[in-house]
């Protein structure tokens, strides 16, 4: 074998090796790296389970119900606690009875400030809504 032929074989072998390497390298997917100078702000929100003790109800609504019942104003405002089973709710209504529109609920142990009592056993809240005295108590409920 002459030297020209040997050099050609070596060159061909090298060329095949480079081509094989190129095919293998091209087959791999690489992630491009991009330099970035963008600044972003991250806001973290933590959500916790609501508690049901010592919360004070103050309604954002005004009661538009026309008063057609008798109520007695209390000498002073009194704070009561919702006396319902865990997972249950005490309805607040526009008037002193279940036939009136429900406007909200209280959970077990949630507080409400009352200012008057009706003749049929309902309390008027400081916000002008009503809840049944059956489901209110002066002391917080025990677990």
Q: Which residue has the tokens 């019942």?
A: 69
Per DSSP, helices labelled H in the chain are 3-27
Q: What is the pLDDT of residue 52?
A: 44
Confidence (pLDDT) at 54: 45
Domain boundaries, the chain: 1-29, 71-137
Helix (H) or strand (E) holding 141: none
Would you identify the CATH topology of the domain 71-137? Answer: SH3 type barrels. (2.30.30)
Q: CB 93: neighbour CB atoms within 10 A? A: 20
- What residues of the chain score a pLDDT lower than 70? 1-8, 11-15, 17-62, 143
- 86-125 pLDDT, tens digit each: 888 999 999 999 999 999 999 999 999 999 999 999 999 9
Whole-angstrom CA distances from 105 to 52, 67, 79, 119 are 12, 21, 16, 22
**Contact predicate 54/86, CB 8 Å:** no
Edge-to-edge strand order for the sheet containing 130-132? 102-107, 89-93, 130-132, 122-125, 111-118, 71-82, 136-137
Q: What is the pLDDT of residue 64?
A: 74
């Amino acid at each position: 074998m002459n030297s020209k032929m040997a050099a050609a074989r070596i060159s061909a072998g090298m060329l095949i090796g480079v081509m094989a390497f190129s095919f293998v390298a091209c087959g791999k997917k690489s992630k491009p790296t991009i330099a970035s100078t963008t600044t972003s702000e991250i806001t973290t929100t933590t959500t916790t389970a609501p508690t049901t003790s010592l919360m004070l109800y103050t309604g954002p609504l005004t009661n538009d119900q026309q008063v057609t019942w008798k109520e007695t104003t209390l000498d002073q405002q009194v704070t009561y606690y919702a006396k319902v089973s865990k997972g249950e709710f005490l309805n607040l209504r526009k008037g002193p009875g279940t036939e009136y529109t429900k406007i909200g609920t209280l959970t077990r142990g949630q507080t409400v400030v009352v200012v008057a009592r009706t003749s049929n056993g309902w309390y008027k809240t400081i916000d002008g809504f009503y809840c049944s005295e059956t489901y209110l108590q002066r002391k917080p409920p025990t677990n």
